Amino acid sequence: MGEQQKDNSRRGFLRNSGAALLAGYAFNNRTGLAQTVQRPDSGRYQSITIQTSGFPTYGAVEERLDFPKDWQVDVLHMVGVNNPPLTSAQILQKLRSPIGSKQLRDIAAGKKNAVITFDDMTRPTFFGPVAEQVINELNAAGIDDDHILFLAAVGSHSEMHSYGAMAKLGPVVYNRCTWETHNRYDNLIELGKTGFNNMIQANGYVVKADVKIHMGSIRTHAGYVFGGGPKGVIPGIVSVDTIFYNHCVVGGVDVRRRRSYEADEREQVADANIPLFEKIGGRTPYNRRLDALEAARLVGIDFSVNIIHNGTQQCIDLYCGDIDEAHIEGSIAANEVQVYDRPSPRAGEYDVMVRNSYPSPQQGVMFAGPREGGISIAVQQSPITCQIHGLQQRAAWDNASWHDIHYRAPREANYRQIALSNCVGKRELGRSDIEMYSTWSEILPILEKEMGSGTRVCVYPYQGNVWDKVQPRAASAPAGGPPGGARPGGGGG
């Protein structure tokens, strides 16, 4: 294939154009594509535009999803979807109004160096404007750029690459400071055990740093109530053994699919009376978060930065300070604005369900199903794809099939399951029983053939970053799970 031909792909176009807008039919007046690709008949179709890829660093990529005009199409938006991003002055004011800690510049005064951990590509956080102000505060305290290290807190996920670091940090921060990726197998220092008997082996760069800062975003997580805060330490910057114990012994997660593993015989010291995450509510003690919080204290995290963002990754609020107190207050705020503007539908409520994984590529296929005989569609068009959890690699080889080791069991669904993607496969989806299509133009005829007039469609435009509001404990969802059997967001890592 010639060099020119090689760049004609969708991803080649994105790579060469920087900021690109594409659609299900690849139309865009700014790029001139509308001249070569015919738009559908407006008298016959209605269109929904969703963003499917692109950190602010590189620009947005959009897809147009077309549906017959006589179908009912409902779009679930985020409450804070139109909230404006914080200005630089507002970010600075938030940094200088910490919760439960001293100001960052006071913490850093007289110190020589700093390590700033940041969440990985499975989280949609764009740190650019916030990270710039964090650096400026460290500079004001006497720590120059050459003595500031940004560390990707990848936990047991894939290590960070340069494209990802640039996307997450933005070009200004990327060029001012050094960055590195956490290694769960090396450069680790033992710090002692938590009350759950978990030996904390943490990243040596962080442990040895004079100033230790955590940056992350807030979203729901099945094992922690909300991600960010202490979760930036476990699993973010610790060893695979520490992660494994936190997930499997403390949290009871069976990553080996009922296979035996070393932790089976260890004493389960989790106390049922451990205080709940009471300000938010929930039905379990969330011991994994408590274990992670103890680890954060052992590591000595000095300052935590928790970002709340809208559907396009812009920072709309910021909660800074103590890794526990600031995170709890930030989670309460996020639970008001980063939630759907109406309850998610229950299983069977719609004929067609469409969920867009952007801006969190890890969540492409987890959603409530349509009615019996309906169609579910997972849109996962981001080149920064979802990942298999690294702990799966600990599965013991017992002559099982590769599929049994690496993929979730096929869902016994009574509806058709489709994925719209030209950048993921079986490994990224973690499933082998989903039909794969690379363009909406391939899916639309299927919808028209199988569905009739008046078809009800539900579209989640940014499913990986928005959730149903977490209710107080007394009003939490009944046994059997959230509406429609939907899995809580962020449970994968």
For residue 141, give the CATH number of its domain: 3.40.50.11440
With 80 as the cut, is the pLDDT of residue 384 above it?
Answer: no
With 50 as the cut, is the pLDDT of residue 273 above it?
Answer: no
With 50 as the cut, is the pLDDT of residue 489 above it?
Answer: no
| pLDDT, averaged across the chain | 78
Same domain, 291 and 420: no
**Would you say residue 492 lies in a domain?**
no
Contacts of 489 (CB under 8 A, 6+ apart): 219, 220, 221, 222, 360, 363, 366, 463, 464, 467
Domain end (from 337, 369, 393): 337
Tokens of residue 238, six digits: 């610790």
Same domain, 175 and 277: yes
Residue 138 is predicted with a pLDDT of 98
Contacts of 114 (CB under 8 A, 6+ apart): 108, 138, 143, 147, 148, 149, 209, 210, 211, 212, 213
Domain end (from 287, 318, 337): 337
Read off the pLDDT of residues 318-362 as tens digits, 9 standing for 90 and up: 999 999 999 999 998 999 999 998 888 888 999 999 988 877 755
Same domain, 330 and 370: no
- Read off the pTM: 0.82
**Would you say residue 439 lies in a domain?**
yes
Cα separation, 422 vs 95, in Å, equals 40
pLDDT category, 434, cuts 50, 70, 90? confident
Average pLDDT over residues 393-418: 57
Tokens of residue 476, six digits: 């939490």
The count of structural domains within the chain is: 2
Return the residue matching tokens 């990553």.
255
Query: Across 216-225, 273-282, 299-308, 476-485, which has the greatest mean pLDDT?
Result: 299-308
CATH number of the domain at 15, please: 3.90.226
Residue 330 is predicted with a pLDDT of 94
Residue 463 is predicted with a pLDDT of 73
pLDDT category, 60, cuts 50, 70, 90? confident
pLDDT category, 221, cuts 50, 70, 90? confident
Size of the chain in residues:
493
Same domain, 347 and 331: no
Q: What percent of the chain has pLDDT over 70?
A: 71
**Would you say residue 491 lies in a domain?**
no
**H or E segment and range at residue 181:** strand 178-181
With 80 as the cut, is the pLDDT of residue 480 above it?
Answer: no
Same domain, 319 and 353: no
Pick from 30-39, 196-205, 403-412: least confident: 30-39
Query: Across 141-155, 265-279, 365-379, 380-394, which has the greatest mean pLDDT?
Result: 141-155
CA 307-310-316 angle, to 5 degrees, is 50
Same domain, 74 and 105: no
With 80 as the cut, is the pLDDT of residue 427 above it?
Answer: no
Same domain, 104 and 168: yes
Amino acid (1-letter code) at residue 10: R
Cα separation, 141 vs 264, in Å, equals 48
Residue 324 CA: distances (Å) to CA of 76, 232, 470: 31, 11, 19
